[in-house]
Amino acid sequence: MKTRISFKLLLGLALLLFVVAACSPQTVEVTRVVTQTEEVEVPVEVEVEVPVEVTRVVTETETVVEEVMVEEAVLGSEERPIKVLFVPSVEVDQIISGGEVLANALTEATGMNFEVSVPTSYAATIEEMCASPDDTIGFIPAQGYVLANNRCGVTVGAAAIRNGLSWYAAQYVIPADSEAESLEDLAGATWCIPDFGSTSGYLYPSAEFAALGIEPGEIIEAGGHNGAMLGVYNGDCDFATAFFSPPLLPNFERTWSYGVDDPEIWREANVSPVRNEEGRTFVNGEPTEGGYRVLDARTLVSDTAPDIFDNTKILAITDQIPNDTVSFGPEFPLNMANNIVEALIEFTASEACATSICSDDFYSWTGVEAVTDSFYDPVRSALDALGITEEDILGG
């Protein structure tokens, strides 16, 4: 009886131990948890790529620094010379060579560097000044200045002086055998002009024609005063317009009087004008010798066309025109502009100027004087009378 009970008791204990073992936690779960913990740390290693972004930022910073260094070049230095622009009113080679003489003199006087150039037209000269507002100087005529002032605020620093005068005029030149006796006779006639941007070659004559109700015929743009004078000389047009400066009279006893003296008063000597080796044109000798000095636009081509005065004549001249300008870009430093004008005044009083802007083959200037914007109000009036705007000459 005892043996049977003991067996049953042992069997029950064994079953109880089996159940307890089955319900105990498994160590495999612990290993799985540890693995999940290691996997969570993996994204932290990916963030090591951050230094790549830092390298790119440094590169951009270096680029910005280089650009700033370029902009800091001093105006007037060798790296950033002041641009001196001349309109192509006479032979370009003469402008370049004479302009270099001027640039060298300005460098010596101011310590700054200058670069001379001749844009392809009056309009191109103005556009260059507007495009480079803080480093350009323009030797531009009165109309060009007014248009540039309207377009972008170009400012005037000085006006040219020619033989003591701050004005000049436009001349109407016709063949010597022309039947025209007045401006009215030019209605329908072919017209040679230097450039549509020329004050004396186009603006003032146009204003006068409009006031008189005269409509000329075909207009031929000759590319400068030289071209216009040669155009009428060669028979390419019926008449031409260009600048007129009064002649110097014998012994300098008096000055030529506007509205009183004939534009070709020198014809009284019955001697043809002659151009000397220095490029100056005289009638019956120099004024100090009792002769006349001729200064109108035909002198520019009297070397290639020595008989131009015999084969052409002046029909009339226009109202007085303010002389050409020395103008500055709208953002050009004021103190620097004043120093350059002072240097130009000294240069035009020097012998070197005779091979530059004072040459008869260049602009025939004999001096420079400071002027203000109001000096060119007569030109504005002429433009307004014709309804001409800068868009008409320069484009939109």
Q: What pTM did the predictor assign?
A: 0.75
At 63, the pLDDT band (50, 70, 90 cuts) reads very low
Higher pLDDT residue, 311 or 279? 311
Mean pLDDT score of the chain, rounded to an integer?
86
pLDDT digits (tens, 9 = 90+) for 234-290: 999 999 999 999 999 999 999 999 999 999 999 999 999 999 988 899 999 999 999
Residue in this structure with the two tokens 């994204």, named with its chain if needed: 43
pLDDT of 317 strictly over 90: yes
Q: List the domains of the chain with CATH numbers.
A: 82-164+323-394 (3.40.190.10), 167-320 (3.40.190.10)
pLDDT of 155 strictly over 90: yes
Q: Which residues contact 83 (CB under 8 A, 6 or more apart)?
A: 114, 115, 117, 128, 132, 135, 136, 137
Q: Dig out the tokens for 201 from the structure.
A: 């070659």
- Span 221-239, mean pLDDT? 97
Exposed e or buried b per residue across 53-64, where buried means at least 16 C-beta atoms within 10 angstroms of its C-beta = eeeeeeeeeeee
Strands 367-370 and 155-161: antiparallel
At 312, the pLDDT band (50, 70, 90 cuts) reads very high
Q: What is the dihedral of CA 200, 204, 210, 216, to 10 degrees?
A: -10
In the three-class reduction of DSSP (H, G, I as helix; E, B as strand; rest coil), residue 248 is classed as: strand
Q: Nearest CA to 201 among 146, 143, 159, 117?
A: 143
Q: Nearest CA to 139 among 152, 158, 153?
A: 158
* Res 71: pLDDT: 56
pLDDT of 161 strictly over 50: yes
Q: Dig out the tokens for 97 from the structure.
A: 């060579």
- Between CA 283 and CA 272 the distance in angstroms is 6
* Res 390: pLDDT: 81
pLDDT of 49 strictly over 80: no
* Res 393: pLDDT: 81
pLDDT of 300 strictly over 60: yes
